[in-house]
Amino acid sequence: MSRSFHAIESLYHMTSIFNLQSILKRGLFSHNEVIRRHIYREDISLTSVQERRRDKIDPIHTRGVQEYACLYFSPRNPMLFKRRELQGNIVILGLSRDLLEKDSTIFTDGNAASTGTSFFSGLENLELLQWRIINAQYWRDYDDGKRIKCAEVLVYRQIDRDAIIRVYCRTPEQYQRVAAILGISRTLLELKPSLFF
């Protein structure tokens, strides 16, 4: 594994099962691009967080944060914990780490909507993130752990479907349901309850 990727195997995006057909056909889009294209989406995000993100501008490219498709380094994070009652309908997408090499891609050392979060670009700056916390099983043991655990990768406007390398399911029942709904290759699906709560 390349050292420049800081041992990152995959990037992650959580979404509703009901969004999968559209995502696997068209790819992933930013919050604003979904609105511009009139794409139906079952929104699992927190309204209060989206309100904070609406006015947030990244300091690198000076674009609104909602112009980016948002991924996580660690999917088992406070956002998923807040939505744990919906996990029966939530799947986690695994995406290629190569997205980090795109010129327009940036990343953060915590939740992009939070005060005090720093923004970065360039693989060489991955070493500046607090990986011990990002990769920890629980974040409550660390100062500012809730913010840091939600460190993000922000990909400008859209992510091609080809970048999606896995669809992770929480239970065997969910795995069977997703396979039946989508009729997709089982090589794309993986049962991995450890990513969920």
Q: pLDDT band for position 47 (50/70/90)? A: confident
- pLDDT at residue 28 tops 50: yes
What confidence tier does 50 reach under pLDDT thresholds 50, 70, 90? confident
Mean pLDDT, residues 125-139 taken together: 97
Which residue pairs, CB below 8 angstroms and at least 24 apart, start in 124-133? 124/4, 126/4, 126/5, 126/6, 126/8, 126/100, 127/6, 129/6, 129/73, 131/6
φ/ψ (deg, to 5) at 95: -120, 155
Domain ranges of the chain: 3-195
Residues 6+ apart with CB under 8 A from 191: 168, 169, 171, 172, 175
Residue 180 predicted with pLDDT over 70 = yes
CA distances from 19 to 69, 74, 130 (A): 14, 21, 32
Residue 184 confidence (pLDDT): 65
The structure's pTM equals: 0.94
Q: Kindly state the tokens that stand for 46.
A: 């927190």
Neighbours of 10 (CB within 10 A): 16
pLDDT in tens, 51-77: 889 999 999 999 999 999 999 999 999
